[in-house]
């Protein structure tokens, strides 16, 4: 099946522009603000989030993490959920969806489990096979992030979540140290986005996300992050990763794991420092013309550690 060239879909050239200008995948995190001093007005408005992280219980199953319900105050959440840039009415087709995203200053981002090729994505939606390069997944989606925030309160919130105070609160919560860089953005994942179970790479210091979907009814769809454990016959892989810190960790097939928990409630933050046990995954199959999976998504990355060598793929992991 043939599709129009990308330029024939309104806004796609600009949506792809930011991706095509990236020469190095690390630029996606390198654009974060190391050492940014958070503006005083943002600290005053959102410092209660630091207290919520400090006071939260560290849960131990299926691995150490923090889950905080009702993370944002109702008046702050209400601004986000009713913001025309973050959420918009249903659209009739994918071309209209791309056009609406472009109008609202979203850009395609290089992201695991995703393609940056719109035509490849459209073919997948029509039922074509997924990318042969990703043997552990069954589909690939597209991820968009807002490039310029229009609403002052949302801009202040994102600025705060990229600041020193928030970074330090996360690191202190889990007793972590080291130089890091931070990136937090409003993000949308379209249908077919999938990342099979993985613990995150070794130079990532923190992973966190906050569900800011349009309403709680979306919780009925399978669009949420799974926290998992290896099945008993695969638990030797934990030790393999423990014993080989110089090797990078890899993605593994879903059937090797059991899903122990999903983070489905709106306005719920999940936060954890990646280690050999922090298996998490997501697989999206939902009507993205009606709504889009939307999050405040962020990471901390160590800047003073040596990167691990490429690890063996899941097919080469030890059998026992």
- CATH, residue 17: 2.60.120.620
Lowest mean pLDDT among 95-99, 158-162, 190-194, 261-265: 190-194
Q: Residue holding tokens 């600290």?
A: 43
Confidence of residue 22 (pLDDT cuts 50, 70, 90): very low
Does 128 map to a domain? yes
Count of domains forming the chain: 1
- CA–CA separation, 61 and 260 (whole Å): 8
Does 84 map to a domain? yes
- CA–CA separation, 242 and 238 (whole Å): 6
Interior/surface letters 110-121, b for 16+ CB within 10 angstroms, e for the rest: ebbbbbbbbbeb
Domain that holds residue 17: 6-316
Tokens of 120: 């490849």
Does 310 map to a domain? yes
Does 217 map to a domain? yes
Pairing between strand 194-198 and 280-283? Answer: antiparallel
pLDDT of res. 194: 87
Closest CA to 109 of 143, 71, 149, 75: 143
- CA–CA separation, 91 and 122 (whole Å): 16
Does 281 map to a domain? yes
Indicate whether 317 pLDDT > 80.
no
Helical ranges in the chain per DSSP H: 12-20, 27-30, 40-46, 48-55, 74-81, 94-103, 118-125, 152-161, 164-173, 236-243
Helix (H) or strand (E) holding 297: strand 293-302
User: How does pLDDT run across 199-234, given as a tens digit for each residue?
Assistant: 999 999 999 999 999 877 787 788 899 999 999 999
Does 1 map to a domain? no
What separation, in Å, do the N-terminal and C-terminal C-alpha atoms of the chain show? Answer: 45
């Amino acid at each position: 099946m043939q599709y129009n060239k990308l330029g024939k879909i309104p806004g796609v050239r600009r949506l792809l522009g930011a991706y095509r200008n990236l020469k190095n995948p690390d630029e996606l995190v390198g654009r974060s603000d190391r050492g940014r001093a958070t503006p005083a007005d943002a600290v005053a408005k959102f410092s209660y989030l630091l207290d919520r992280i400090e006071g939260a219980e560290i849960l131990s199953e299926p691995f150490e993490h923090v889950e905080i319900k009702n993370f944002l105050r109702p008046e702050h959440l209400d601004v986000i959920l009713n913001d025309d840039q973050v959420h918009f009415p249903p659209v009739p087709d994918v071309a209209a969806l791309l056009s609406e995203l472009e109008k609202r200053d979203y850009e395609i981002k290089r992201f695991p489990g995703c393609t940056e090729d719109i035509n490849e994505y459209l073919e997948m939606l029509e039922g074509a096979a997924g990318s042969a390069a990703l043997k552990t997944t069954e589909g690939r989606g597209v991820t968009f992030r807002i490039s310029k925030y229009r609403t002052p309160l949302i801009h202040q919130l994102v600025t705060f979540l990229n600041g020193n105070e928030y970074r330090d609160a996360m690191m202190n919560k889990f007793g972590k140290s080291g130089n890091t860089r931070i990136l937090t953005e409003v993000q949308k994942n379209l249908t077919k986005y999938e990342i099979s179970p993985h613990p995150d790479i070794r130079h990532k210091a923190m992973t966190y996300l906050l569900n800011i979907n349009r309403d709680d009814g979306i919780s009925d769809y399978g669009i949420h992050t799974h926290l998992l454990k290896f099945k008993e016959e695969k638990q030797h892989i934990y030790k393999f990763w423990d014993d080989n810190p110089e090797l990078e960790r890899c993605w593994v097939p879903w059937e090797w794991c059991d899903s122990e928990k999903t983070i489905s409630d709106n306005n719920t933050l999940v936060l954890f420092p990646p280690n050999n046990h922090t298996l998490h995954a997501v697989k999206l199959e939902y009507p993205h013309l009606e709504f889009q999976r939307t999050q405040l998504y962020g990471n901390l990355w160590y800047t003073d550690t040596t990167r691990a060598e490429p690890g063996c793929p899941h097919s080469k992991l030890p059998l026992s």
